[in-house]
Chain A
Amino acid sequence: MNIIQMPALMLGQMIKNREISAVEAAQAYLAQIEAKEKSLHGFVTVDRDGALARARAAQQAIEDGTLTGPLAGVPCAVKDNIMTEGLLTTCGSRMLNSFVPAFSAEAVHRLEKAGAVILGKTNMDEFAMGSTSETSAYGPVRNPWNTDHVPGGSSGGSAAAAASCECAFALGSDTGGSIRQPSGFCGVTGLKPTYGTVSRYGLVAYASSLDQIGPVARNVPDCAAVLEAIASYDAKDSTSMKRDAYDFTESLRDDVQDLRIGIPSDYLEGGKDGVTGLSDDVRKAVLSAAETLKERGARVEEFQLNYVRYAVPAYYIIADAEASSNLARYDGTKYGYRTGSYDDLHSLYKRTRSEGFGAEVKRRIMLGSFVLSSGYYDAYYLKALKVKALIKKAFDDAFSRYDVILAPSAPTTAPRLGESLSDPLAMYLSDIYTVSANLAGLPGICLPCGFDSKGLPIGLQMLGDCFMEKKIIRAAYTFEKSRGPIDYSRCSREEAAS
């Protein structure tokens, strides 16, 4: 197996054993990036010199014994809405086209402490708003399995980079499914932790009450190891939770005998009243995965979750409202893009923002401002917060009976490029399986469970109760062991005829 195809932990082990050096690993990945970027565009910034310097430093620290962790020297990528000191951070937007942070996110600090080597910043939907990574001001990302298709979003760059072996693993962010859905579309493994598990300090806020940073990798153990490295209590983040335990890799056990797994029947309805839009391919694959887990000894059954159809509208009201406020700071006065000509203060604001933001971001800011405005706050925002409470209660009830909830990561496999943005509402509806976890603060992991007739990956999602990452990691690990490894060579090789 060549360097770039190794799972992160395997590479880390080989580096530790001095069989491979951190510099070699970085060089191999940088070469892969060069080979694949033209067709994928998974990166906004590739920091070649910085990466090699970091690799040399990591190697030195490994040799003198100060870096001993499993990810030391392992090359990775960071989504471009996560602050990296000294390295351009654009959030996929023209608005921050020249923004160089003066500090790094806490999660990035922790990765660096673990000795991981950052190769660059991955492309994404602008300000994390989108499900296809087509709204980036720097051009769309393409799905490595079929470059006519989207990789999903908003962490499409991270997922595509991981799948095409442009990095050993990547960090993404998830507000309504932005780690999980692209992981499903790109056939990689992505995890959104329980809200408050990974510090949000340094994550450019989209919807503060829903955002979390999480790992994207090519298998479950890598994901668990990265989560273990970046999760921590952070006093700089007032919503940070002090967890009892951070040893997530402890749960990498091939065993589901004690697990009760529930599949919401209201997730599986498709077709007729159009709530889920679930395709047959995906339904079959998910049910087949359920069978696999059953064979391994888990108790699997269907149940009624309730409130399923209301999750997406509640999510969009809350997320867009918070976003309209979080994005107000981008006004051309302190940093970022500024319009060329303006008459006065208000025209400076309006023109800067109208020119600096793309259509989807503007759409959400408009809606968010509206639902918070005088006269509408109670009917929309407050109402949505009440529905959020109902949805949380529904999950509390479900998790009193089940350890893991099984679901698709999306109703379909990856759509073609250019098909989704013309009907935003339809695009929003496809978030049906992922938004609830953000509303309720739950952890969720997505991993590949098959391919459709076109060879596009199908994603399986496992949701756990709050603070129950270990259970879903164990379930995912067990499934992965039965499923067998995924062959990423199809999407990591040099371009032949696509």
Chain B
Amino acid sequence: MKEREYETVIGLEVHVELATRTKIFCGCTTEFGGKPNSHTCPVCTGMPGSLPVLNRQVVEYAMAVGLALNCEISRCCKFDRKNYFYPDNPQNYQISQLYEPICRNGRIEIETGDVTKTVRIHEIHMEEDAGKLIHDEWEECSLVDYNRSGVPLIEIVSEPDMRDAAEVIAYLEKLRLIIQYLGASDCKLQEGSMRADVNLSVRERGASLLGTRTEMKNLNSFKAITRAISGERDRQIELLEDGKEVIQDTRRWDDNKERSYPMRSKEDAQDYRYFPEPDLPPVMISEEWINAVKKRQPELRTEKMARYQKEYGLSEYDAQIITGTKRLADLFEETAKLCGNPKKAANWIMGETLYLLKENHMDPEDASFSPAYLACLIDMTESGVINGAAAKQAFAEIFLHNTDPVVFVDTHGLRIERNDDTLRSLVQKVLDENPQAIADYQAGKKKAIGFLVGQTMKATGGKAAPGDVNRILSELLFSHKPL
């Protein structure tokens, strides 16, 4: 009943960690891992006397994402300080952009089912990430690691154009696809290189004013996002039905308990006192610079799909699957170029690769095998050096351990027996052992040949090409004296 009365209005703030080599304001590495506080320097730990210097690559990635999302790129953007106290924020202010962000007024098309919808992008801005807080298990304390402090982020703020979890997921998947294709980030929700904060409010269907919205954080998977949206919607509706008000606050979603908790206390004023960052001059972006970034923009998904159909003769369906992630597309294309057989390459990608990814709970981005090896495997299969079953076996090794297929095939003796003389004597042996089958064949029972092929295959341990066996068997049977 309530589902029909209330409409959910959702906007998203998505933080994306950019794939630069260094942090946004200093020359520390952004490499993941590393001993706590080893990727730090005076700048990213807020030492007295330190000063920020902007990483040009951050600006270019932000521009690239903005262009891909159809945004207006600001001709002059500036940085501002967002002031708040928290241990993961070494200066107790974050350098961000409020007043003049780098991109504004974009849009993105999402598909849910058959429906295409436009979600508007309010703005994109650059900012620095905070460090990591780890809750100590033994003592009542938390521990701070500044390795992540200063890692560059772009924050993509949407308009409140989404209406349900499906649209939210579609939006996030589309964003991820685009940003991965640009190479700007690997956008992994679980690893935190993409983080989504959900702003949600409800209103009676038909109402024009927006309800009070709450912000939800700590959503680490699509499932959690879906659950959180439904949980918060219900919570708000319940409040309103009870005649109470929805209080604007920031809530932390606990996916284990499947509920949210208010995050802020009185001591978190949420008055960020933004003012222009005096340590950083403005960034002026010229027409030339935008054009240069545009030119360097890698092919986006739609273009690639079209090209794969044209250049490699793939079907639309196949092209869509293969370009589903940039990694898969790259693996396909490299393989296809090396072996010259796009159809086979496509089959291996769509078939075994996707299968093994699923089996091993891996993201396509984690596929790290060498396309050269797959190309080699395809060559071997096509030229009959190995058969299908052997190829699958070898591919599993390539996929998991990046093993050279030639080495694998030889070590495991998977080569198909192609020597006619060897085959001939093997077939002869089978014939000698199965006189009844010969008699059946001569009596006109064609099935007998299948039986004999099977026996031969058995005898070769599967290492014979069915074509060869059939040919030799036919020859020998034809020339066999009648029983």
Contacts and interface: CB of A to CB of B under 8 A. Distances in A.
Interface stretch (A324-332, A393-401, A402-410, A486-494): A324-332
A237 B47 CA distance: 14
Interface stretch (A69-77, A94-102, A249-257): A94-102
Contact of B48 (A204, A207, A237, A322): A204
A287 B128 CA distance: 53
B25 to A, nearest CB: 9
A89 B273 CA distance: 29
B46 interface: yes
Interface residue range, chain A: 35 or more
Contacts of B54: 238
B45 interface: yes
Given A239-B281, A372-B273, A328 B48 contact: no
Contact of A329 (B48, B267, B281): B48
A105 interface: yes
B51 interface: yes
Contacts, number: 94
Interface residue range, chain B: 20 to 34
A328 B265 CA distance: 19
Contacts of A89: 48
Residue of B54, B85, B273 contacting most chain A CB atoms (<10 Å): B273
A322 B80 CA distance: 12
A325 B49 contact: no
Residue of B42, B91, B92, B278 contacting most chain A CB atoms (<10 Å): B278
Contact of A237 (B42, B45, B51): B51
Contacts of A373: 271, 273
A261 B93 CA distance: 44
B53 A334 contact: no
Nearest to A321: B275
Contact of A238 (B49, B52, B85): B52
Given A325-B273, A329-B91, A377-B273, A204 B85 contact: no
B144 A333 contact: yes
Interface in B347-402: none
Overall SS of chain A's interface: loop
A325 B267 contact: no
A315 to B, nearest CB: 14
Nearest to A376: B273
Nearest to A346: B267
Interface stretch (A37-45, A49-57, A195-203, A356-364): A195-203
Interface in B89-127: 90-93
B280 interface: yes
B193 interface: no
A37 B46 CA distance: 34
Given A83-B48, A328-B92, A331-B92, A372 B267 contact: no
Interface in B30-76: 42, 45-54
B81 interface: yes
Contacts of A325: 81, 83, 93, 273, 275
Contacts of B324: none
A47 to B, nearest CB: 18
A235 interface: yes
A208 B49 contact: no
B95 to A, nearest CB: 11
Interface string B262-306: 000101000101110011110000000000000000000000000
A460 B83 CA distance: 40
A91 B48 contact: yes
A103 B271 contact: no
Contacts of B90: 329, 334
Contact of B49 (A205, A207, A333, A381): A205
- Which 5 residue pairs spanning A and B have beta carbons closest together? A328-B92, A372-B273, A208-B278, A209-B278, A346-B267
26 contacts: A91-B48, A201-B49, A201-B50, A204-B48, A204-B49, A207-B278, A208-B278, A236-B51, A236-B53, A238-B51, A238-B52, A238-B54, A239-B51, A321-B275, A322-B278, A324-B83, A325-B81, A328-B93, A329-B46, A329-B48, A329-B91, A334-B47, A349-B85, A373-B271, A373-B273, A381-B275
